[in-house]
Amino acid sequence: MKNIIIGTICIMLVGITVATYFFEKHPELTTPGRSQPIEEQDTQEFEPPQPSPFLPIYEDNSIGYSLQNDQLQITFNKGDDWSIVPIEKEKLFAGEYNGNAQELIENSYILTQNRAAFLYSEGNSIKLKYSLNQGETWEDSVVTAQYPTIRFRKVNFLNESFGYVIISGDRTMSQEWTTVYITNDGGKQWRETNHSNVTRLIYDGGFVDENTGFLSFGILNPIEPDLYVTQDGGNSWSKANVMIPEKYHEIFVMSEVPFKEENHLAVYINQGPNGDYEGGKVKGKFTSNDNGKTWEFSMEVLPNESE
């Protein structure tokens, strides 16, 4: 009996020693991803999507953004460092937008040394994500909690505290709803201004100071500029009187956003999408001495002069 026990134990000792040696020497049999057969699955190798090199779009020499890999990232040092903007890409292009989504929608963002801000749509609300420290931290503010499908969108700040958002939505054919929101605390809180009651499609808009703002309507075959002005921070809007010389009737038809020049206001009025006067690119410069209520023709300008 003694011999049987000792014999069995010896066999087991040898067996386990050999087994352990084999187990250690052939890690491929027990290591995931080595040469094991995979049950019920083709053994194709999955690779995580490799990030492609950034193709940045620069706002100026050093500030730029990239939408590569469906992720918005910004740089403030010519692309040496990138910080991720925590917004899903499609939220930046939500609503009526038919572009290729390779570049951000013009005017829907601000990218300067002191402020990075992106207008986006989440659910039914329109929000602004902004950073005042070059992307280190991000704030979110709700411009409006409820808004129909958005079309036009624009955000801008005139100084550290005053900014405006112009959005339009709920378009039916050539009619839509345009709303202007302003902030006086750097974008934390937004206040809806009174409505201009114009339902034509908006072309552009903007403020030249905290009280004086403009909305320019008409993008489908316009025959004359349709410019509205407020001089009380959006409480009331009235149609501006743009005095177009007879010679330029139905030529200068779409008003751009007015701007301050010396001691008066000035605006370029372009020929719209179908203009063919002098090649179609020439614009009319108009000036106003009553803060935007009436506009007089000043001169024709070539496109590069107006930029």
CA angle 50, 51, 56 (to 5 degrees): 160
Asked if residue 39 binds another protein (CB under 8 A), the reply is: yes
Is residue 286 within 8 A of residue 269, CB to CB? The reply is: yes
Q: How far apart are CA 166 and CA 178, in angstroms?
A: 7
Q: How far is the CB of 131 from another protein (least distance, A)?
A: 20
40 is a contact residue toward another protein (CB under 8 A): yes
Judge whether 227 and 215 are in contact, CB under 8 Å: yes
Residue number with CB closer to another protein (102 or 304)? 102
CB 250 within 8 A of CB 224: yes
Closest separation in Å from C-beta 136 to another protein: 18
Among 59, 96, 122, 261, binds another protein (CB under 8 A): 122
Q: Which of 89, 115, 239, 264 binds another protein (CB under 8 A)?
A: 89
Q: Which residues of 2-21 are buried (b: 16+ CB within 10 A; e: fewer)?
A: eeeeeeeeeeeeeeeeeeee
Give the Cα separation of 300 and 281 in Å (integer).
Answer: 10
262 binds another protein (CB under 8 A): no
Least distance between another protein and beta carbon 80 (Å): 20
Tell whether residue 53 is a contact of another protein (CB under 8 A): no
Closest approach of Cβ 24 to another protein, in Å?
7
Which long-range contacts (C-beta less than 8 Å, at least 24 apart) are formed by 33-41?
none
Minimum CB distance to another protein, residue 25 (Å): 12
Report the residue number, 23 or 259, with the smaller CB distance to another protein: 23
Kindly calculate the radius of gyration of the chain based on its CA atoms and give it in whole angstroms.
Answer: 31
Identify the residue among 7, 23, 161, 260 touching another protein (CB under 8 A): 23
Angle at the Cα of 242 from the Cα atoms of 239 and 244, rounded to 5 degrees:
150
Q: Is 71 in the site for another protein (CB under 8 A)?
A: yes
- From the list 7, 86, 99, 123, which residue makes contact with another protein (rule: CB under 8 A)? 123
User: Within 194-223, which residues bind another protein (CB under 8 A)?
Assistant: none
Per-residue tokens: 129? 């994500």
Which residues bind to another protein, rule: CB under 8 A? 2, 5-6, 8-9, 12-13, 15-16, 19-20, 22-24, 27, 29-34, 36-41, 43, 46, 48-49, 70-71, 88-89, 122-125
